[in-house]
Structure 1
Amino acid sequence: MLGYEISHLANLLKDSYNQNDSDSEDEGPKTKSANLTPASFVSPQAKNTTEKAKAVVSSKKELVNTKDIWNIDEVPDRGNESIPTEKDDTRPQPEYDMHYKQNVTSEDIFLQMGNKNPSSASCEDLVVKIQLPDTELSEIVLDITKNLVDCRSKKYRLALPLPHPCDPDKCQAKWNKEQHTLQITVRLQREYDDFNF
């Protein structure tokens, strides 16, 4: 690529040197250096890169024209896991709340000796509270996979994709009989947890 640009520069300088040898600038034949533009110095590899960039821009324009918010290539593949849907399932989705939970010690709070901070990146768990009014514990079916919490009862159904992958073997669930609330504590398995904890 560099050699290609240097050879064009050498030709440009050679043509301008030949032009200066003539007696007057107005007289004499026009050389090919007058036809050179900055685009003349672009290597074939750079032209291919530019063409690829134009193709990406045109595909994004097509994306805008179809009113989609992403290409199918941009959707992450979750493997065989997907949100289970049943076409005839008319059960409503219950109200739920999600928040992060952090295990802290007195050294973290008072002495600030650990590397934990108040951000969610330092949280080990995700707590999901699901309101299931008029439901008994025996009616609840709970299935937790790496990327999904699936909670079903006679009256409700919740298929909740998780924001981060989790360890299904280290999850806990508690049923509050008075409030008819199912609290699920999910242990997160993020990519950089080894550095954050």
Structure 2
Amino acid sequence: AHIGPGDIGPPPKTSTEPHGSSAYIKKDSKDIWSEEEVAEGSHYDDLADPRPQPEYEIILKQNVGTEDVFLGLSGKDPSSMKCEAMKIKIKLPETKATDVVLDVKEKFLDLRTPKYKLGLHLPHPIHCREGKAQFFSDREVLEVSLLMNRPMDSINLQ
């Protein structure tokens, strides 16, 4: 007999349901996905918009003191799990500060200029009301500083 990868493990369970498992239950609607499945910020996507995406860099930051560096008393390490903030540097050549339109949500950053557009899904949720943005005209760089929202850190990282 010929044995293949599907023969490894216990035999599959047979289902009496017409379409296999009950994990997916289709609603009576003609929608192909629900509102919960759509990522935040997807309504900003415009495939017909020809503006290019600018270069950007995400830097995760920690508040570190001498007790962390020399003595290691707080238990911080260089992992991203110990970071409290993030800085996003966006290069915007030939752009003025007055041309920049910036909208920051909990998990999404939307930047629009006449020449560029950036829809960025953030790696961690942030406090959208506590951010700061600064445009450096000499370097043509926008720096956005955001404080991360990590409500479970006090429980998970102790």
TM-score, normalised with respect to structure 2: 0.72
Secondary structure of the 1:130 match is strand
In structure 1, what is the equivalent of residue 61 of structure 2?
Answer: 101
| Counterpart Cα distance in 2 of 1:177 and 1:133 | 9
Q: What residue ranges of structure 2 are gaps of 5+ in the alignment?
A: 1-10, 25-32
TM-superposed deviation, 1:193: 2.1
TM-superposed deviation, 1:194: 2.0
Contact 2:41 2:119 in 1 (8 A): no
RMSD of Structure 2 on Structure 1 (CA): 2.7
- Which protein has the bigger helix share? 1
What's the % identity of the aligned pairs? 34
TM-superposed deviation, 1:125: 1.0
TM-score, normalised with respect to structure 1: 0.59
Q: How does 1:68-147 map to 2 (within 5 A)?
A: 77=37, 81-83=40-42, 84-147=44-107
Q: What residue ranges of structure 1 are gaps of 5+ in the alignment?
A: 1-46, 60-71
In structure 2, what is the equivalent of residue 178 of structure 1?
Answer: 138
Consecutive aligned runs of 4 or more in structure 1 exceeding 4 Å deviation: none
Q: How does 1:1-197 map to 2 (within 5 A)?
A: 50-51=13-14, 55=20, 77=37, 81-83=40-42, 84-190=44-150, 192-195=152-155, 196=157
| Counterpart Cα distance in 1 of 2:75 and 2:128 | 26
The total of aligned residue pairs comes to: 131
- Higher RCO, 1 vs 2 (CA within 8 Å, ≥6 residues apart): 2
User: For residues 78 and 114 of structure 1, do their structure 2 counterparts lie closer, same or farther at Cα, with a shift above 3 Å needed?
Assistant: farther
TM-superposed deviation, 1:191: 5.2
User: For residues 78 and 88 of structure 1, do their structure 2 counterparts lie closer, same or farther at Cα, with a shift above 3 Å needed?
Assistant: closer
